[in-house]
Every structure is written in C-alpha cells, then in structure tokens.
Amino acid sequence: MKPINRREFLRTLGYGAASFAGAHLLSACNTFLPQTSPRPFEGEPDVEIRLTAKPGQVPIFPGAPTNVWRYEAVVQMGPAESIQTIPGSYLGPIFNLKTGTNLRVHFANELPEESVVHWHGLHVPDHADGHPRLAIPGSETYTYNFTVMDRAGTYWYHPHPHGITGPQVHRGLAGLFLIHDDQERALGLPDGDRDLPMVIQDRVFDAENQLVYDPSVMGMYGDRILVNGTPDYELDVDRGAYRLRLLNGSNARIYKLAWEDGTPLQVIGTEGGLLEAPIEKKVITLAPAQRLELWVDFGRWNAGETVSMVNLPSSAVGGDEGFPIFTAKVRESEREDARLLEVFPRHDALELGDAVNANEPRVFVLGMGMGMRWMINGRTFEMTDVARDERVRLGDAEVWEFVNQGMGGGMMGGMNQAHPMHIHGLQFKVLGRQVDPRGAQVYDSLKDGFVDAGWHDTVLVTPGERVRLLMRFTDFEGLYMYHCHNLEHEDMGMMRNYRVA
Ligand code: C2O
Ligand code: CU
Ligand code: CU
C-alpha cells in the first residue's frame, strides 16, 4: 500500500465537522461525569501506607525462582483491609479504598535506579500523579497525599520514570487499585471471593526461569501468558455469579478475548467504573492499561465442566495467534439463582455541547518520525515541555482527537500499529471513531470487541483511525501527561505533557 500524506488522508476520509455531528454521535450527549467532591486534604490521612519497591524472588515455574522487582505495602494507619496481597505473586498488593478516603502513601524506592509511582486512572493533584520529573533515586522516599475522588472501579498503579517504565513494569512492578463507593455497594454485585481481579500479562522467560526484556520497536511481547503473576492460571468456581475485573497489564500486547465456547460476555464496567447498563459482547478487545469488568454466571456451565477464556487471532501486532488466557473449573455445586441488574445508577452530566472546541477538536497525530521515533504531532517527550496546543483551561470541557496515520505515517508507514492512548488525571468519553477503509485490517479484526460506552482513561486507536474523546479538566491545575500505553512506545518518546491552568 502506498503511503499517503496527511492532506490526502483527510480527504480520503471525507473528513469534516459535519461527519462527526451524526445522530449517533450526538447521542453521546447522554453521558455522565464521575462524581467528584474536591476537598483540600490537610492534616491527618484516613489511610497511611508505606509502599516499597525492591528486588525480590518469586517461584513462578518449577525449579529456580524468578528474580523480580515488586511492590510491598504496610498499612501504617487505617483498616488493614486497605491492602490485600496476592500470595506468591510478583504483583503489588491490591489497594482497596473507598471514595472520599484521604490517602497518604510513603513510596520508598529500594531499587538500584530511579522510579516514581503513577496512580493510573485516578483524578489526583499533579504532585501526586507520578510524573517522571518527580522520580526519586534509589534509597529515597516520596510522599503522596491525595483524596480518592474517583467512582468505584478498577484502577491500577505502576512506575513512570523517564525511559525505563517498560522494563520496570516488565520486572513485576504493578498493582491494582480498587475503589468502592456506596452506590456500587447498593447494587449487590458479587463481592468477597466472588470479586476476582485478573491481571493479564505476557512475558519471556529463559531456561533458568528468568525474565528476558528484549523489545523491538513494536514493543515487548511475551510468549507466556500470566494471570495475577501465574502461568496456566486456573480458578475453581461455584455455579453462581462472579465479578471479574480484567486488567491488561501487558507492556504491548492487545488481546481479543472470548469464552472458548462462544458464550457471550456481560460487560459491566470500564476504566472509569460501572456502565449505565450491562453490555453483551461476543468478544472484547483489551489494549494495554485498559480494564473491563465482567459479570459471569458460572451456573450456565455444568458442575465438573471447564471453560477457558481465550485470546482469538487478530491483525494486531502480536495478536496473530489464538491461545488460552485462563481456565475456570466449575465445582460440584447447586446452580445458584444469579441475576444481573439491567440498569446501574447514573452520574453527573458531561455533554458534547459543553466542549469549547466541539467542532474543531484538538488534534493529535500519531506516527513515526526520523530515527524510528514514535511521535505525537511530530514531537517526542521532553521532560517539562508544553507546546501551545497542549495548554488547556481549568474547568473547560474539550474534544480531543487522536489520529493514527497507520500506513500514511511517512517513512516508517510500514509500522502499522495500533496505539492505546492514555490521558492522565481524568476519565473521558469516546464520542466516535472514523476509519480509512483502506488498510483497516487491524480495525476490522478488533472492532467487534470495542467497548466505547462508559468512562475511559485509555482508548485504542488503530491504523488509519481517528477517535474523538470528550473530557473535562477539573479541580487541579498543573502538569499532566498523555501518551501511548504501549510502554515501549512511551519509553521511546510517544508521550507529551499537557498543562491545566
Ligand atoms: Cu498507566 Cu502514564 O500511565
Ligand atoms: Cu495513567
Ligand atoms: Cu503506540
């Protein structure tokens, strides 16, 4: 396919404001903002945690243990259940907090290099956002103070130092951050041991069971799938309802997930919490950093049966083959009466009409420049650099548009890769997508799995595609980031700052 330049690309798409003002896109007006109740957090926290990053060893395979880097946590004040460790896993402890909690975390870096913790998906002040400029060297401590303001949902945390996020996450540094609120509690969703985190990652191990980090320009892809840090993950389930919280914690791999027997998936939540209504899908696409929550009635399978969640082949890089992700074994038990509510509570409105630039969005073009560098609008990451078109006003709602040039991406147009684009500090709505029908293989192979409803902090932009997002910058001024969450793309510079003022 011949590369096309940007102007031709725009023409090919017949692109203009009008094409986005279509009825189904305007129906996205019916959207709701996460609840926030900003309050300055001074004085004593409700929960105080010491979080340490340090080298360690875990048994992953028979034989030699694997050298990893991992987070460990100690609750210094507040309920002990504020953290929950996953036994035997390199993954960090799971934070379990309620909306409104004033949280203090003392991050102790006991690694042989600099690091910093980013609370992915959380709406926090910029000094607590884990920007790489705030990275601390080994043997230092950084204290985070923030109020947990987000809705109930599945968030996570991971390192964010400049240029070495990919290798640090690959060595094991990542953990879930679960938020609960009263609205969620009132829904009576499965909880306790029926509420299961499922962190999906891929890794390469050598013959001595050690991790091998050897990425290409496409990112780091592994040949072993781990769930919660365990290969060939199995789970014993009763014949009742479960809540599965899926996080794609992989550096680069995009998954196309389904039950092996074709049973539909009931999606109840996205990155920013519960949907307004469950959505039934045959397949779900899960890009790096994305979360989807499923409600599953294992009673639909017979006692003694097993059912696997599988990755289906796709045109995404590294997604060419099918393979199992995990297997559920249904225990000998009576089928329980399991029913899912049809409608979940709604939240404060954010309407397209609120956006100051609804007709002329901020456009960010994703591509590859000279020297095989992934770029955004022709720029790569500079620690504190903020361009004119990266300044936004506190309180404004805006439409942002990410454009993946794909084959049109210039000299390296052959790099036909999808980019999971992530914006720090907020949750956004996906208003719509447009794709260049030529060269849309990746889009075609993944689109059935997209869950664009609900609130998101990461959206997949496939080659030849333009995706429009609606967001509002609330509560905090300061320096935040937006970037590709393929961690190798991020480390190679596909990341920029935006400033709220
Ligand atoms: Cu999870 Cu800036 O990333
Ligand atoms: Cu983030
Ligand atoms: Cu990318």
> What pLDDT shows up at residue 33?
41
Strand 429-435, strand 391-392: pairing: unpaired
> What pLDDT shows up at residue 16?
32
> What pLDDT shows up at residue 201?
98
Number of C-beta neighbours around residue 27 at 10 A = 10
> What pLDDT shows up at residue 79?
98
Residue 490 alpha carbon, nearest atom of ligand 1: 2
3-class secondary-structure state, position 44: coil
147 within domain boundaries = yes
353 within domain boundaries = yes
Å from CA of 28 to ligand 1 middle? 26
Whether 385 and 424 map to the same domain: the answer is: yes
Å from CA of 176 to ligand 1 middle? 13
* Nearest-ligand number for the alpha carbon of 490: 3
Strand 362-369, strand 397-404: pairing: parallel
Instruction: For the chain, 501 residues long, give each residue's pLDDT as a single digit of tens.
Output: 333 333 333 333 333 333 333 323 323 333 344 444 445 577 799 999 999 999 999 999 999 999 999 999 999 999 999 999 999 999 999 999 999 999 999 999 999 999 999 999 999 999 999 999 999 999 999 999 999 999 999 999 999 999 999 999 999 999 999 999 999 999 999 999 999 999 999 999 999 999 999 999 899 999 999 999 999 999 999 999 999 999 999 999 999 999 999 999 999 999 999 999 999 999 999 999 999 999 999 999 999 999 999 999 999 987 778 999 999 999 998 999 998 887 777 766 788 999 999 999 999 999 887 777 899 999 999 999 999 999 999 999 999 999 998 765 444 444 689 999 999 999 999 999 999 988 899 999 999 999 999 999 999 999 999 999 999 999 999 999 999 999 999 999 999 999 999
List of residues 6+ apart from 493 with CB closer than 8 A: 373, 374, 375, 380, 381
Number of C-beta neighbours around residue 1 at 10 A = 12
H/E stretch holding 376 reads strand 373-376
Q: And the tokens for 353?
A: 């009409």
Is-contact 48 76, C-beta < 8 A? yes
List of residues 6+ apart from 52 with CB closer than 8 A: 71, 72, 73, 107, 108, 110
Whether 129 and 232 map to the same domain: the answer is: no
403 within domain boundaries = yes
Q: And the tokens for 28?
A: 């996205």
Side-chain-facing half-sphere of 116: CA atoms under 13 Å: 19
Query: Which of residues 184, 209, 229 is at a domain's end?
Result: 184
Is-contact 238 331, C-beta < 8 A? yes
Residue 160 alpha carbon, nearest atom of ligand 1: 2
Ligand 2 is an ion; residues with CB less than 5 A from it? 120, 424
Range(s) of the domain holding residue 442: 348-500
Å from CA of 422 to ligand 1 middle? 7
Specify the CATH number for the domain of residue 304.
2.60.40.420
Query: Which of residues 275, 304, 330 is at a domain's end?
Result: 330
Whether 324 and 203 map to the same domain: the answer is: yes
From the number of C-beta atoms within 10 Å of its C-beta (0-12, 13-18, 19+), residue 206 rates as: exposed
Whether 202 and 180 map to the same domain: the answer is: no
Residue 349 dihedral angles phi and psi, to the nearest 5°: -80, 145
Segment 455-501, tens digit of pLDDT: 999 999 999 999 999 999 999 999 999 999 999 999 999 999 999 99
DSSP type of residue 88: T
Whether 206 and 168 map to the same domain: the answer is: no
Whether 304 and 204 map to the same domain: the answer is: yes
- In angstroms, the CA 295 to CA 318 distance is 28
Segment 284-313, tens digit of pLDDT: 999 999 999 999 999 999 999 999 999 999
Residue 369 CA, chain-centre distance (Å), reads 26
Number of C-beta neighbours around residue 96 at 10 A = 16
- In angstroms, the CA 473 to CA 54 distance is 35
Whether 260 and 165 map to the same domain: the answer is: no
Query: Which of residues 158, 184, 210 is at a domain's end?
Result: 184
Is-contact 180 97, C-beta < 8 A? yes
4 within domain boundaries = no
Å from CA of 258 to ligand 2 middle? 26
List of residues 6+ apart from 387 with CB closer than 8 A: 377, 379, 496
Whether 285 and 374 map to the same domain: the answer is: no
Whether 369 and 306 map to the same domain: the answer is: no
Whether 200 and 273 map to the same domain: the answer is: yes
Instruction: Give residues (CB < 6 A) around ligand 1.
Output: 118, 120, 158, 160, 289, 422, 424, 481, 483, 485
Is-contact 111 53, C-beta < 8 A? yes
Is-contact 204 253, C-beta < 8 A? no
Whether 127 and 252 map to the same domain: the answer is: no
Q: What residue's CA is closest to ligand 1, atom 3?
A: 120
DSSP type of residue 335: P
> What pLDDT shows up at residue 175?
98
Å from CA of 272 to ligand 2 middle? 12
Residue 112 CA, chain-centre distance (Å), reads 27
26 within domain boundaries = no
55 within domain boundaries = yes
DSSP type of residue 16: S
8 within domain boundaries = no
Task: Supply the pTM of this predicted model.
Answer: 0.92
263 within domain boundaries = yes
Q: And the tokens for 425?
A: 């500090």
Give the total number of structural domains in the chain: 3
Cα distances (angstroms) measured from residue 356 to each of 99, 128, 359, 479: 29, 28, 8, 21
3-class secondary-structure state, position 59: coil
* Nearest-ligand number for the alpha carbon of 290: 1
From the number of C-beta atoms within 10 Å of its C-beta (0-12, 13-18, 19+), residue 444 rates as: middle
Whether 490 and 364 map to the same domain: the answer is: yes
Q: CA nearest 429: which of 455, 449, 465, 447?
A: 455
